[in-house]
Copies of this chain bind each other. A is one copy, B any other.
Amino acid sequence: MNKKDKILIIGAGLCGSLLALRLAQRGFKVAVFESRPDLRTVDISAGRSINLALSDRGLKALRLCGMEEKAREICIPMYGRLMHDKEGNTFSSNYSGRENEYINSISRGDLNAILLDEAEKHKNVTIHFNKKCKNVDIENNIAHFKDYNTKEEFSVEAAVIFGADGAGSSLRKSYISERKFLFSYSQNYLNHGYKELEIPADSSGKHQISKEHLHIWPRGDFMLIALPNMDGSFTVTLFLSYDEGEFNFENLTSEEKITEFFEKEFPDALALIPNIKQEFINNPTGPLGTIKCSPWSYKNKTLLIGDSSHAIVPFYGQGMNASFEDVFVLDEILNQDLGDWETVFKTYQKARKKDTDAIADLAIDNFHEMKDHVANPLFKEKRKIEMDLEKTFTTEYSSKYSLVTFNENIGYNEAMKKGRAQDKALLNLISGDEVHTHLDMTKEELKVILDKVTKETNDILQEDKIAGL
């Protein structure tokens, strides 16, 4: 490892930009190649997620790179979910019982732009747009590109190549096609796809529904969600089966049927989406896939990072946070002065993979929670108890959601194991009538519940351990 070694990063998206910035701050010489045009000069948002959820793990990595404050300037805090039923009634559910725990809606493009700006301030960084990576010769560490403007093809040789090129990573495809090693790989699609729509700002530029919530219209087999934007609009996303159920993406092909569907299922949302028909027909339907793979690295030459190594479904709001945390974890490994890139890469995967596997699985759990469980009485009772516990015992209790989202000092895997055991404990205690709640619980009453949940959770974890799970 030599600071003069040329480092190539494929992809200047969120992960690639932050990685470039951090490696530049550490003194490395970095060249970044991105297939898209520079998003600071061209609007390329069509069809991609316009806003994302930024929470503590992502902020931790931004803080490391000195970017937390700038990011917070473009954040819209969301303190909880606001559920909408078919009659237009709403009820809210906070993300945490602690006031300082909330997630943020942030524009993908705006955040990417400030990261690119900051990276480019470093003389040891160059960023090249409209350069599509076709494939990587992983044995000789040569990446082959095509320039979208000139149509010319060219190659770049580097000491180390990072594939921060997202779910469709060309570096990962080269791992598969070059067959130099046994590559474990999975791509798993949900039977649901997604389509983005928009609730515009009102005539005075204000948000038409609460901007302090992530809105959910849970309908069991499908759902609509909405996240606020700084300009007063909301980005709305419909998650719906491709081919199952009465309404699905395959049969929602006529304006009449689209209107019928929204009138029946989402009348209050329909009233807020003026261009529903055009948007539904013109906006693309995207797939929802999970990608896992191993190994992430090849020798001392290449490393997959971010979505290229672990693309996940969006339901935990952790995709960007997980990718940013990758940069944080890699930085910690670099602090260990391990001497060579191969050891760095292997140590990084060993530290990180169990956590990215966990968030991938948690994100699928949350799909079912958001579209279905949030409207379930047992689940609502559980959330109510958890809010009370978090509010009353601020340092002693964290729900699964809090462990995953707001406890950035433990890994996703630990958060998953503890959080799932807690959920199981609580659901069984409620279902078995072993805990009882009412309005205005006293601290003593809540302490009894906390002790029962803690004991039951520890029993579950211990029994799983004995069974080798």
Tell me the A163-182 residues at the B interface (CB within 8 Å): 182
Chain B residue contacts of A253, Cβ below 8 A: none
Contact in complex: A466, B189 (CB < 8 Å): no
Identify which of residues 387-427 in chain A touch chain B, using a CB-to-CB cut-off of 8 Å: 420, 423-424, 427
Q: Mark A184-201, 1 if CB is under 8 A from B, else 0.
A: 111111000000000000
25 contacts between A and B (CB under 8 A): A182-B189, A182-B287, A182-B289, A183-B189, A184-B186, A184-B187, A184-B188, A184-B189, A185-B185, A185-B186, A185-B187, A185-B188, A186-B186, A186-B188, A186-B292, A368-B468, A373-B468, A423-B467, A424-B463, A424-B464, A424-B469, A427-B466, A427-B468, A428-B466, A431-B466
Are A467 and B182 neighbours in the complex by a CB distance under 8 Å? Answer: no
Name which residue of chain B comes closest to A369, CB basis. Answer: B468
Judging by beta carbons under 8 Å apart, are B467 and A427 in contact? yes
User: Interface 1/0s, chain A 350-389, versus B by CB < 8 A?
Assistant: 0000000000000000001000010000000000000000
Q: Which residues of A contact B (CB under 8 A)?
A: 182-189, 242, 287, 289, 292, 368, 373, 420, 423-424, 427-428, 431, 463-464, 466-469
Q: Is the CB of A187 within 8 A of B189?
A: no
Q: How far is the CB of A285 from chain B (nearest CB, A)?
A: 11
> A460 to nearest B CB, angstroms?
8
Complex CA gap A189/B186 in Å reads 11
**Closest Cβ of chain B: how far from A358's Cβ, in Å?**
16
User: Which chain B residues lie closer than 8 Å to A289 at the CB level?
Assistant: 182
- Bound-state Cα–Cα, A289 to B183, Å: 10
Smallest CB separation, A167 vs chain B (Å): 13
Which residues from chain B contact A467 at a C-beta distance below 8 Å? 420, 423-424, 427-428
Q: What are the residues of chain B within 8 A of A184 when measuring CB–CB?
A: 186-189
Residues from chain B with a CB closer than 8 A to the CB of A373 are 468
Which residue on chain B has the smallest CB distance to residue A420?
B467
**Residues of B contacting A185 in the complex (Cβ-Cβ under 8 angstroms):** 185-188
| Residues in chain B near residue A427, CB distance under 8 A | 466-468
Q: In the complex, what residues of B have CB within 8 A of residue A183's CB?
A: 187, 189
In the bound complex, residues from chain B placing their C-beta under 8 Å from that of A420 are 467
Docked CA distance A423–B463 (Å): 11
Chain B nearest Cβ from A194, distance in angstroms:
13
Q: Give the chain B neighbours of A292 by CB distance below 8 A.
A: 186
CB closest chain-B residue, reference A287: B182
**Which residue of B has the minimal Cβ distance to A189?**
B182
**Chain B residues near A431 (CB-CB < 8 A):** 466
Residues from chain B with Cβ under 8 Å of A424 in the complex: 463-464, 466-467, 469
Least CB separation from A463: chain B residue? B428
Taking CB as reference atom, which chain B residue is nearest A376?
B468
**CB-based nearest B residue for A176:** B187
B residues near A186, Cβ cutoff 8 Å: 184-188, 292
What is the CB-to-nearest-CB distance from A137 to chain B, in angstroms, rounded to a whole number? 21
Q: How far apart are A87's CB and chain B's nearest CB, in angstroms?
A: 27
